Amino acid sequence: MSSTEFFNTFIRDQKAIIAKICRTYSDNDEEFQDLFQEVAIQLWRGYESFRHESKVSTWVYRVALNVCLTQFKKRKRNLPTSSLDDMVHEPAQEGVDPIHEQVNLLYDGIKQLKEIERAIILLYLEDKQYNEIAEILGLTRTNVGVRINRIKGQLKKYMDGRIGHQGDLADTKIISA
Amino acid sequence: MEELDIKEIWQTQKLSAPDLKENELEIMLRKKSQSIVDKLKKFVRIEHIANIVVSILLISYFLYQEDYAFSAALFVFLTFVIIYYKRLYNKLYAIQPTTDVHVYLYEVHRELSDFMKKYMISLTFLFTIAFGLGLYLGLKDEYLGDKLRQPGFYIRIFSTFAISIAACYLVIHLTYGRKARKIKALLDELEE
């Protein structure tokens, strides 16, 4: 198996993680694809020198977050057609899939947060332990704990507000009908 | 909303992630990186090569003109410039996104700020050398020398010099200054 084939397998295993991070930091498909591509390039470059001192997932989160945080908008699209198009969620279709809508709402809430807060909550949602989050971000465990509680509060407030608003809209529609 | 709910919602997402098409990854990996560090590396590498080429040409020219003292001075100065660029490139090359986020942001910000600062200083030096050299060669020339000694010449040439330097500072600031500020803001957010 050539190194490219080996890396292809590696990316296939990790692409769900990469896609979630890229989606958190992108506003449209074009940005998503550019971020995904940049993360893949940086992983490829660092792949040979990865010494397994940390978990593979920790390493992937670090690279992906570092790329997404330091990538600047206004990027030129340079991936004309790609299967990555299928990786991004389509906009929620009202009443079609409530789970899909909830996920979109959660992403909307996360995108309201500051960029570092997004990274913290993303790792929390990915079920990472406080120690691992601290290791990825270079923070202390205590700091991570405090921040997660604060961000969860913000996220909860946002989602409650949006769900309440959507409920009100639904009620209005029923009354109108 | 309970704590568990957010995680549950997150984990129910079915991110349709099909396999990458055949050769798609290879094509992707052949693309140029858009990262700020890689752009700086590319910029410094091009400058480094240009410096070497220009240095060889300039020194050869003055040796051909049998101006040995000037050639020697130029050799010393340009050697320092080349060593400086080489060190700058090595420092940029050492930055890897495989470190933790705090270390990475800190290193990128430090190198970006240093790059801007040092680039402005070296630009001022190189501009001064280029202007001085142009003036030196011009005044040495019999025909050009007379024209250059006309009234108001020095005011015009120094105004052009000052405007050129100011324009370069502005371009550097617009190109890299905003990026440096954004990374600093991230770093502050992380350290708060």
Nearest CA in chain B to A152: B3
Q: Which pair of structure tokens corresponds to residue B174?
A: 């617009």
Q: Which pair of structure tokens corresponds to residue B187?
A: 């770093």
pLDDT of residue A75: 47
| B154 has pLDDT over 60 | yes
Nearest Cβ partner for B17 among A87, A117, A139: A87
Residue B4 confidence class, pLDDT cut points 50, 70, 90: very low
Where is average pLDDT lowest: B36-50, B113-127, B134-148? B134-148
Residue B39 confidence class, pLDDT cut points 50, 70, 90: confident
pLDDT of residue B18: 56
Residue-wise pLDDT for B17-32, tens only, equals 556 776 778 888 888 8
Residue-wise pLDDT for B79-131, tens only, equals 988 898 888 889 888 898 989 999 999 999 999 998 888 888 878 888 888 88
Pinpoint the residues of chain A covered by CATH 1.10.1740.10.
Answer: 1-76
Nearest Cβ partner for B1 among A82, A115, A159: A159
Residue B14 confidence class, pLDDT cut points 50, 70, 90: low
Q: Which pair of structure tokens corresponds to residue A102?
A: 């909830």
Cβ proximity of A20 and A110 under 8 Å = no
Mutation target among B9, B12, B106 for the A interface, most CBs of A within 10 A: B9
Positive/negative CA dihedral, B139, B140, B141, B145:
positive
Instruction: Write down the CATH number for the domain with range A1-76.
Output: 1.10.1740.10
Cβ proximity of A17 and A55 under 8 Å = no
Task: Tell me which architecture the domain covering A92-177 has in CATH.
Answer: Orthogonal Bundle (1.10)
Positive/negative CA dihedral, A85, A88, A92, A97:
positive
pLDDT of residue A170: 53
Residue B11 confidence class, pLDDT cut points 50, 70, 90: confident
pLDDT of residue A11: 86
Pinpoint the residues of chain A covered by CATH 1.10.10.10.
Answer: 92-177
Looking at chain B from residue 8 to 47, which residues have their Cβ under 8 Å from any Cβ of chain A? Answer: 9-13, 15-21, 24-26, 28-29, 31, 33-37
The interface predicted TM-score of the complex, written ipTM, equals 0.81
Residue-wise pLDDT for A6-19, tens only, equals 788 888 888 888 99
Q: Where are the alpha helices (DSSP H) in chain B?
A: 3-12, 24-30, 36-64, 68-93, 101-140, 142-148, 153-172, 178-191
Number of helices and strands (H, E) in chain A? 7, 0
pLDDT of residue A176: 47
Distance from the Cα of residue B36 to its chain's centroid: 11
pLDDT of residue A93: 47
Q: Which residues of chain A register pLDDT less than 50? A: 75-81, 89-94, 173-177
pLDDT of residue A174: 45
Alpha carbon dihedral B74, B80, B86, B89, in 10-degree steps, equals -110
pLDDT of residue A171: 54
pLDDT of residue A85: 56
